[in-house]
Amino acid sequence: MQLVLEKRAERSGTIALVSPLIAIGLTIATMVILFAILGKNPLLALHAYFIAPLTDGYSLQEIAVKATPLVMIAIGLSLCYLANAWNIGAEGQFLIGAVAGSWIAVRTQGTDAGAWVLPVMLVLAAAAGALYALIPAICKVKFGASEILTSLMLVYVADLFLDYLVRGPWRDPHGFNFPTTAEFDPVATVPLLIEGGRLHFGSILALLVVAAAAILLGRTIKGFEIRVVGAAPRAARFGGFKADRLIILTFAVSGALAGLAGIIEVAGPVGHLQPGISPGYGFTAIIVAFLGRLNPLGILIAGLFLALTFIGGEQAQITMKIPLDVTKVFQGILLFYVLACDSLILYRFKLVFPNRQVTSGAG
């Protein structure tokens, strides 16, 4: 007796809808075991992770704040992945965007620069992120170099570059030698939506990005092109779609969105440029993209869910002394289950009995 995969005649629509939920369920079951191994009460831990952050206004705002970069980056990545272009360096594009935008903020610090500062920062960050993402895209299209490896290598380079800037030329002279720029001026800061709260204008921008992506993919020829090139490259070639041009385009768009997310994070919740501005947003966004089934609305929901795990993880660390790495383990396991459940959309399990088949064939 053997368990084998069998291709379904067509995609299973039901499973496509419920598979993320099955994956989340399986992940939570696995986490219960992990909490028990760590000697923590699983029910209390689950409460700290998934319920407690939803019960007060401050945490709810914080979830939206954390979801903002995740959703923006993941929307860009989903375009890449749909077109079968593997940008996994969004973390680097996020950091370069943050650096490029901060350049304006640092240069105008203490001057009487007007309201133009923030818009210019946003545009510059998006442009820098796009250009940074174009390096692996062009290396791929012109020279055939694996975009996976080059985009990832650039993450380390961006990280070191940011580190150099805040320890060297951009360090706050009154910052007690901490590697950070001075706090940005009010004109270089993303405005808050609620006075005295945490929610900022960037979250609105993220919603606009989701809507734009939904229109692009659902209503335009370009969106159709992206999906065809990824799903059926041969058919796309016959249809005259240029895969190379789409790689360039999707990388540039995803880089721009990651860069924008970077400057919004720095000019918003953080308020200055420093190392460690990202708890791995660029990598978590990969999970968000897959958990959201590469669909804009799905990504919005998945982004909020993963933001919840960040906030829940912080709370569980404070209240129950559960290490922060548990959140990363959770996210990794979740991606595994999501991918495994996705497999069931295209395949079904089947038990085969090799011996019986032979006898029936002979008879």
Residues that bind another protein in the complex, under the rule CB under 8 A: 4-5, 7, 86, 88, 135, 139, 142-146, 148-150, 152-154, 156-157, 160-161, 163-164, 167-168, 283, 286-287, 290, 323-333, 335-336, 339-340, 342-343, 346-347, 352
CB of 136 vs another protein, minimal distance in Å: 8
Sequence-distant (≥ 6) Cβ neighbours of residue 131 within 8 angstroms: 255
126/326 with CB nearer another protein: 326
Q: Taking the CA of residue 149 as centre, how many other CA atoms within 13 Å lie in the half-sphere pointing to its CB?
A: 5
CB of 357 to another protein, least distance (A): 9
| Sign, Cα dihedral of 49, 50, 56, 61 | positive
Return the number of other C-beta atoms located less than 10 Å from residue 137's C-beta: 26
Name which of 271 and 279 has its Cβ closer to another protein.
279
Supply the minimum distance, in Å, between the C-beta of residue 35 and another protein: 12
Q: Minimal distance in Å, beta carbon 235 to another protein?
A: 18
CB of 58 to another protein, least distance (A): 26
What would the DSSP string read from start to end of 164-177? Answer: HHHHTTT--TTSTT
Angle formed by the axes of helices 90-107 and 117-143, nearest 10° = 140
Q: Is-contact 226 312, C-beta < 8 A?
A: no
Task: Name the minimum Å distance from CB 197 to another protein.
Answer: 31
Residue pair 102/176 in contact by the 8 Å Cβ criterion? no
Sign of the CA dihedral 308, 314, 317, 323? Answer: positive
Pick between residue 36 and residue 208 the one whose CB is nearest to another protein. 36
Structure tokens at 292: 């959201």
Q: If you ran DSSP here, which 8-state letter would residue 47 be given? A: I
**Closer residue to another protein in complex, CB, 69/269:** 69
Nearer to another protein, 57 or 323 (CB): 323
Our CB check for another protein shows the closer of 7 and 174 to be 7
How buried is 148 (Cβ within 10 angstroms: 0-12 exposed, 13-18 middle, 19+ buried)?
middle
**Cβ at position 77, least distance to another protein in Å:** 11
Of 114 and 168, CB closest to another protein: 168
